[in-house]
Structure 1
Amino acid sequence: MYPKLIKYIEEILLQDISNERKNLLQPLIDFIELKKRNRESVDINFICTHNSRRSHLAQIWAQTASAYFKVSDVHCYSGGTETTALFPKVTETLIEAGFHIWTLSESENPVYAVKYSENSLPVIGFSKKYDDVFNPNTGFAAVMTCSHADGGCPFIAGAEKRIPITFEDPKISDETPGQTEIYNERSLQIAAEMLYVFSRINN
């Protein structure tokens, strides 16, 4: 794992998570533990409305947390109820945390490769619907990262378990002086919670 990212993670692990948030995270821990006990692949699809901010942060931090705690056979995905684009401030925030990111294609919906270590497979980031062919279609946990998507999608086809873990949208800070701080705060919160989840898994 990249040294800057390891240092960032070590600082995050000192963060406290409230009991209320731990209770919200427990169903995801239970899902992962069940899959591991059954020797099955752990597939998690993080879903929000536009697949532009929170769902990507959760996907990338969850994949990174699984690697940090050496929880094998974990595959993290993301999707939206509609397609837009991965918001550029998200990649800027992740680069600042220590990720290495490359733009694979330039378009209205760019495609990025996100790596947390030299030898890891990249996480491919671009906006897509939750049921895109890029994502799993059965046996996965659907983690709803925004209340709008959670309320607007009463049924996720193929999901084995539906888990609401919602985060405040950093979009509220766009075009304000506090944008960088808000995006960093949201990324840190999501990172801390995904690291907590995978720290609880017995290999």
Structure 2
Amino acid sequence: MNILFLCTGNSCRSQMAEAWGKRLWPEIGFYSAGVERHGLNPHAVAVMGEVGVDMAGHKSKMVDDLPDVAFDYIVTLCGHAAENCPFFAGGGTRVHRGFDDPPSLAAAMSNEEKQLDVYRRVRDEIREMVAGIPGSLED
């Protein structure tokens, strides 16, 4: 089974989902990409590191950067990606599982610890969704 997590910039949510997938389900192929390239978010890397998930080797990718893989599921994690999800020749079931955008919410926080708390909450919500795969991807 191969699963692609897709969000706008492949900087935070899709990266965390890919990292959780590789940690929790090593027998499944997990990938992430964005419809744009925003670079890897350092706060996402930091909060994943807090729970022992290393994202040091990750980089922001666009769909065109992915290897030629047939995806069983294409999971959009934000509304923009769901609306702009590219066509995949191999098909795959498209599923939307929206999560808050940590950088947007954190910008309104008064200090770095509160900002990181937003990332931690979304990290944990994504982990819960990924831990339930494949059932969490069924409508």
Task: Verify same fold: TM over 0.5.
Answer: yes
Counterparts in 2 of 1:185 and 1:47: CA distance versus 1, 3 Å: same
Corresponding position: 1:83 with 2:37: yes
Tell me the equivalent position of 1:108: none
- Cα displacement string for residues 39-89 of structure 1 (whole angstroms, at most 9, x for unaligned residues): xxx11110001000110011111221214xxxx3x1100000011201110
Amino acid at match of 1:129: M
TM-aligned CA distance change 1:168 to 1:66, over 3 Å: same
Higher radius of gyration, 1 or 2: 1
Cα deviation for residue 155 of structure 1 reads 3.0
The one-letter amino acid paired with 2:16 is L
Tell me which residue corresponds to 1:131.
Answer: 64
Offset of 1:166 from its aligned partner? 1.2
Deviation at 1:154, TM superposition (A): 5.8
| CA deviations over 1:94-146 (Å, ceiling 9, x no partner) | 11111245xxxxxxxxxx32xxxxxxxxxxx11111231x3344344211111
C-alpha contact 2:4 2:71 (8 A) present in aligned 1: no
* Distance verdict in 2 for CA 1:154–1:135, change over 3 Å: closer
1:131·1:137 contact (CA, 8 Å) conserved in 2?
Answer: no
1:47-196 superposed matches below 5 A: 47-67=6-26, 72=27, 74-101=28-55, 112-113=56-57, 125-132=58-65, 134-153=66-85, 155-172=87-104, 173-174=106-107, 176=109, 177=111, 178-196=114-132
- C-alpha distance in structure 2 between counterparts of 1:147 and 1:194, whole Å: 18
Aligned with 2:30: secondary structure?
A: strand
Identity %: 29
Opposite residue 192 of structure 1, the aligned amino acid is E
TM-score, length-normalised on structure 1?
0.59
- Taking a change above 3 Å as real, the CA distance of residues 153 and 193 of structure 1, as seen in their structure-2 partners, is closer
Where in structure 1 are there 5+ consecutive unaligned residues? 1-41, 102-111, 114-124
The code of the aligned residue for 2:8 comes to T
In the superposition, the TM-score normalised over structure 2's length comes to 0.83
Higher relative strand content: 1
Match of 2:81, SS state, is helix
Deviation at 1:181, TM superposition (A): 0.5
Alpha-carbon displacement from aligned partner over 1:8-50 (angstroms, at most 9, x marks no partner): xxxxxxxxxxxxxxxxxxxxxxxxxxxxxxxxxx111100010
CA separation of 1:192 and 1:83: change in aligned 2, threshold 3 A: same
Name the residue aligned to 2:3.
Answer: 44
Equivalent runs, 1:6-17 vs 2, <5 Å: none
Aligned-pair Cα RMSD in Å:
2.1
